[in-house]
Amino acid sequence: MKLVIAGGGFGGLRLARKLNNKKGIEVLLVDRFNYHQFQPLFYQVATAGLDASNISFPLRKVFQKSKNVRLRLADIKSVDAENKKLITDTGEIPYDKLVIATGAGTNFFGNKELETYAFSMKSTVEALQIRHRLMENFERATIEQDPLEVERLMNIVVVGGGPTGVELSGAIAEMRNYVLPKDYPELDFSKMKIYLLEGSGKVLGTMSEKSSDQALKYLHRLGVTVVTNYLVASYNGKTLTNKVGSSIETATVLWAAGIKGHVPEGITKVEPVRGNRLPVNELNLLKPYDDIYAIGDVAAMVTTEYPNGHPQVAPVAIQMADNLANNLLAQLSGAEQKTFRYRDKGAMATVGRNLAVVDVPKPKLHFAGFLAWLVWMALHLMLILGVKNRLFVFLNWLYNYVTYDQSLRLIFREFHREDETVPV
């Protein structure tokens, strides 16, 4: 069986690892990056807490001893389902079975202004762009004479009150409280506003009421201005306006308010559902195709427990990959395939130093504060690929905890040979 996996995220990488060195199957993993990205910690890269290399791991290193898994660095363009080929920018790739694990990107809900001026955070590169913008804005603020422009440069708006938005706004607030005043003594950080805007009535809407209330208290403690039932209408790079006309002056809008699946072109027999996701059956198969599967954020498996599809989180992608790997091997041996059943182990979010919330469904538990923060750190450390990466992340966290500081507030400018000056 020639299996092609489109995407090296949590689902695609897990599937390739589960099939590593299995007889009777050849695996080709295709991704536009040559590394796996640990998305839950993008916000720490964006706020200078971690280096990008700490949460990235070379894909080829994972399969150095593999006999049947190969990798291809390419941009996926479309699927030629009739001829069973995946079309990429580097050529056509034939397959017997195709697994679409392309994940999801930022959903701006058709608002072209926001797409142009707001920052998303769905890749390591985008997280670095946010870090650079934050640092450059503070540098500009030190020399800006116009008070209104200084206000814009210092104010930061995070849109979306889910885990990403809560974690990002909390991390920025800690920078303002502990780090930035020492770096920029000429600026008055008591005037810097950090807004977290949420379209619904509460933050962490997918978690329990206790977690939502506790997270809100933590955000207020850190000095974040949380505004619920706030629907963004427009943003021109300077002023953000909501549906009823009120506005916020800011040069930085960080968008964490929605995601949509990355569906390659050519899947003509299946109509994407809400969130641009591919509807699959309980074997993760795209009916009426008998050779195309989808897993992770791009897949929508409707069940009685999840009428709108499963949550778009890493554990779902990993468990789908495990089940699909077993089913593909069962096909080779003629054994019976098993339907997918998601085992929800809980949800968590961190707001800041010693501040986190955890929900466990069975037995039904909720806890918050320092213990929840320790659990959050331990789980994320275990999930990061590579002993070296885990060590560096742990050391960075330890250093930040002891010193209340981060050491990665760096601005890398693009260098042009013609700009080089001759030393005298």
CA 209 → CA 143, 195, 308, 366, distances in Å?
45, 21, 21, 10
CB neighbourhood size of 352 (10 A): 21
Q: Does domain 112-257 have CATH number 3.40.1260.10?
A: no
Average pLDDT over residues 48-76: 94
CB neighbourhood size of 355 (10 A): 23
Residues 242 and 231 sit within 8 Å (Cβ to Cβ): yes
For residue 151, indicate whether it is catalytic: no
Question: Which of these, 357, 338, 333, 334, lies nearest to 347 by C-alpha position?
Answer: 357
Question: Which residues lie below 8 Å from residue 402, measured CB to CB, with a gap of 6+?
Answer: none
Candidate list 126, 151, 167, 174, residue with the active-site label: 167
Q: Where are the beta strands (DSSP E) in 91-172?
A: 91-94, 97-100, 104-106, 156-159
Q: Evaluate whether 2-106+259-333 and 112-257 have a shared fold.
A: yes
Residues 248 and 155 sit within 8 Å (Cβ to Cβ): yes
Question: Which of these, 290, 286, 315, lies nearest to 300 by C-alpha position?
Answer: 286
Phi-psi region of 142 (alpha: psi -120 to 50; beta: other; left: phi over 0): alpha
**What pLDDT is attached to residue 422?**
47
User: Measured between alpha carbons, how far is 42 from 50 in angstroms, rounded to an integer?
Assistant: 9
CB neighbourhood size of 412 (10 A): 8
Q: Is 207 exposed, middle or buried (0-12, 13-18, 19+ CB in 10 A)?
A: buried
Average pLDDT over residues 142-155: 96
pLDDT digits (tens, 9 = 90+) for 320-346: 999 999 999 999 999 999 999 999 999
For every residue of 167-216, DSSP letters joined together read HHHHHHHHIIIIIHHHH-TTS-GGG--EEEE-SSSSSSTTS-HHHHHHHH
pLDDT digits (tens, 9 = 90+) for 378-405: 999 998 988 888 999 999 999 888 888 8
Domain borders along the chain are 2-106+259-333, 112-257
Question: Which of these, 8, 4, 56, 42, lies nearest to 386 by C-alpha position?
Answer: 56
pLDDT digits (tens, 9 = 90+) for 154-191: 999 999 999 999 999 999 999 999 999 999 999 999 99
pLDDT at position 362 over 90 = no
How would residue 410 be classed by pLDDT, with cut points 50, 70 and 90?
A: confident
pLDDT digits (tens, 9 = 90+) for 93-124: 999 999 999 999 999 998 999 999 999 999 99
**What pLDDT is attached to residue 424?**
44
CB neighbourhood size of 185 (10 A): 10
Which CATH number describes the domain made up of 2-106+259-333?
3.50.50.60
CA 217 → CA 119, 260, 351, 372, 374, distances in Å?
26, 30, 10, 15, 19
Question: Which of these, 392, 359, 363, lies nearest to 376 by C-alpha position?
Answer: 359
